[in-house]
Amino acid sequence: MERKRGTPTSRDNDREDRLRAALKANLARRKAQAKAREAKSDGDEQDKEDS
């Protein structure tokens, strides 16, 4: 069976919304992790300079 092309159904819209929300949450989490890593590495470099 072939899927009909055209306007997405309600079910497709729900899936799109879930995927969009998951992607947004994933991006936010990754940005926070990168920021934390950068802050930690900046702190490590300052410790080396102080020694």
Q: What pLDDT, in 10s, does the model give residues 1-51?
A: 566 666 768 899 999 999 999 999 999 999 999 999 999 888 766 666 555
Residue 7 inside a domain? The answer is: no
Supply the pLDDT for residue 36.
Answer: 95
Amino acid at 16: E
**Entry pTM:** 0.59
Residue 40 inside a domain? The answer is: yes
Residue 10 inside a domain? The answer is: no
Domain that holds residue 22: 18-51
Supply the pLDDT for residue 29.
Answer: 98
Residue 50 inside a domain? The answer is: yes
What's the chain look like in SS3?
A: CCCCCCCCCHHHHHHHHHHHHHHHHHHHHHHHHHHHHHHHHHHHHHHHHHC
Residue 13 inside a domain? The answer is: no
Residue 32 inside a domain? The answer is: yes
Domain total for the chain? 1
Contacts of 16 (CB under 8 A, 6+ apart): 8
Are 29 and 22 a contacting pair, CB within 8 Å?
no
Supply the pLDDT for residue 45.
Answer: 64
Residue 25 inside a domain? The answer is: yes
pLDDT in tens, 11-22: 999 999 999 999
